[in-house]
Structure 1
């Protein structure tokens, strides 16, 4: 079972001068085989976007991957939807 405080994260990057409005979502989901998947979805706001999932053998590795993705996106200017 996933025992992390952060299992889902929604980020956006909106820059009107560049006509940019993007979303990026990251979620941790358990698989049927006891692994944990990091599911990412991204695209332009208002579209369905793309989805990719990578599985990890345990929750600790998946949480580390989520944190690394979050840091990378925040460096590129993404913020949470409530900021």
Structure 2
């Protein structure tokens, strides 16, 4: 991935039997101060999301954290949107 290019992945988990429709979004973005941020957003589809921003010194560290979160969420049944 080229330096300072935003990377975004959106995951979804639906179960009609239990009326569950959730999303999880992961993004690696540059900050104004030269660091790199992993931005995580999640919640029920159609409602207000929760958001957390984690700062990393390098884009590679943020990408590693993104991959770790991606692995956790896929293990819980989330699938990547196309």
- TM-score, normalised to structure 1, is 0.90
1-side partners of 2:32 and 2:67: how far apart? 23
Q: How many correspondences in the alignment?
A: 80
1:2 aligned residue: 4
Tell me by how many angstroms 1:2 deviates: 3.1
Deviation at residue 81 of structure 1 after TM alignment: 1.6
Cα distance in 1, alignment partners of residues 48 and 8 from structure 2: 18
Offset, 1:54: 0.3
Root-mean-square deviation (CA), in Å? 1.3
Equivalences for 1:1-83 in 2 at 5 Å?
1-2=3-4, 7-82=7-82
In structure 2, stretches of 5+ residues that fail to align are: none
SS at 2:4's partner residue?
Answer: coil
Gaps of 5+ in 1: none
Listed one character per residue, the Cα deviations across residues 18-72 of structure 1 (whole Å, up to 9, x for unaligned) are 1110000000110111110000100000012101100000011000000000000
Q: Is the partner of 1:54 in helix, strand or coil?
A: strand
Give the 3-state SS of the residue equivalent to 2:63 in structure 1. helix
Q: TM-score, normalised by structure 2?
A: 0.91
